[in-house]
Amino acid sequence: MDKQHNKTRVEQSRSVPEVRFPEFKEEWIIEQLGKHIKKTDKKNKENLNLPVYSINNKEGFLPQSEQFDGVNSNDRGFDISIYKIIQPNTFAYNPARINVGSIGYSNNLADILISSLYVCFQTDGKIDDNFLLAFLDTYHFKTSVLRFQEGGVRQYLFFDNLSKIKLPFPTLAEQKKIAHFFSIIDKKITQLQEKKTALELYKKGMMQQIFNQQIRFKDSNGHDFPEWEVKNLGKITTLIKDGTHGTHKNYPESEYLLLSAKNIHSGRINSDLEDRRISKEDFESIYKNYKLQKDDILLTIVGTIGRTALVKEDITKIAFQRSVAFFRFENQISNFIFQLFNHDKFQNELQRRKVVSAQPGIYLGDLAKIAISLPSLKEQTKIANFLSKIDAKINTVNTQIEHAKTYKKGLLQKMFV
């Protein structure tokens, strides 16, 4: 290392992470990202017949295994001459969608095309690409993005501002060790996600056969259960109602929540500290004539239609807006109905009956007219128990995924300064 470079390192900001591999002792240098990345902007002027890719915007900053989704350029009617050529080992992002998307990374073995909207860049070789990918998933980077964005209603992270974000910079050997460590965690997460997907596909296939009556359960004596009966949904419920249509003032300190369709997913009610809160008086006014009870089924009916939740216990401090409908059943097994609501046939019926205006929606009266096939209560119980066991396995794997992600998030916080 020459004297000038030594002098530069002394003048630069230094630090060490909270957790690191013991064989490394040298302090980290804090430098702007722009010192080690260069913008690439090669237009497809030759109109090369290359595949077109786009960054996958599923859930924020994605792991390397989910960088790009391939799209065959021959299936689209666009002018690919305005697209950019991306070489292998190139990063890309949409300046207007950095919060909801990601900075993706192409490790393809050949050139690809990407929209001209994307900013593309490569490193100078002094940063390990996989180390940089790990840094892009840190809280420090995400908060830096917010600080350096510009614009009005729509915020942009221009390349010049991206370049100002400071990067903790260990030796290349330590970078590679850190990158390899996180790649092992990412591989484990990917394996768990694949296991979850396989269980979900298995359940979907079994539901298809069960609700089409290709598979029938038998009683304890090995005899067939009675034939299924077709009934309208409204004939077997004691309650079909939607949430409040009123306007309710927000009381941030209140213990009473006012939730909506966005809080229903994965078969459960999900809430957080940012959800709307209402007064006790408003809550009691909403539930003046009824209360949500254990075994009620919730169904989203405005906006995103068809998400469900099975109420596991009496709800005492949660109200819902009109985007959620409630069902209560008499002489039916609620867990069976919950599973039936998630079957493709019922979901397709919801889509067929929805009314499209400013927001897609479905009327309670139309819900009541939906015809469903019902087995006997004993067969309902067997079906519900069978499918619930698959659900339990899916939930177990999902919990393992969340624990692995939390573990990774914690280490990212401690292994980067």
- Provide, rounded to the nearest whole percent, the portion of the chain with pLDDT above 90: 62
The Cα 6–Cα 16 span in angstroms is: 18
Q: Given this model, what pLDDT does residue 399 score? A: 96
pLDDT score of 301 more than 70: yes
pLDDT score of 266 more than 80: yes
**Per-residue DSSP letter, 218:** B
- Long-range Cβ contact pairs of 13-20 (< 8 A, separation 24 or more): 13/166, 15/168, 15/417, 16/417, 17/168, 17/414, 17/415, 17/416, 17/417, 18/414, 18/415, 18/417, 19/411, 19/414, 19/415, 20/174, 20/415
Query: Residue 282 — very low, low, confident or very high, per pLDDT cuts 50/70/90?
Result: very high
Q: Given this model, what pLDDT does residue 135 score? A: 92
Q: What average pLDDT does the segment 190-198 reach?
A: 96
CA nearest to 311, candidates 295, 328, 327: 295
Mean pLDDT of the chain: 86
Size (the chain), residues: 417
pLDDT score of 343 more than 80: yes
pLDDT score of 74 more than 70: no
Q: What average pLDDT does the segment 132-157 reach?
A: 89
Q: What average pLDDT does the segment 106-110 reach?
A: 75
Q: Given this model, what pLDDT does residue 364 score? A: 94
Q: Given this model, what pLDDT does residue 390 score? A: 97
Structure tokens at 152: 């009005």
Higher pLDDT, 289 or 131: 131
73, 50 in Cβ contact below 8 A?
Answer: yes
Query: Residue 78 — very low, low, confident or very high, per pLDDT cuts 50/70/90?
Result: low
68, 147 in Cβ contact below 8 A?
Answer: no
This prediction has a pTM of 0.80
Higher pLDDT, 85 or 183: 183
Query: Residue 16 — very low, low, confident or very high, per pLDDT cuts 50/70/90?
Result: confident
pLDDT score of 202 more than 90: yes
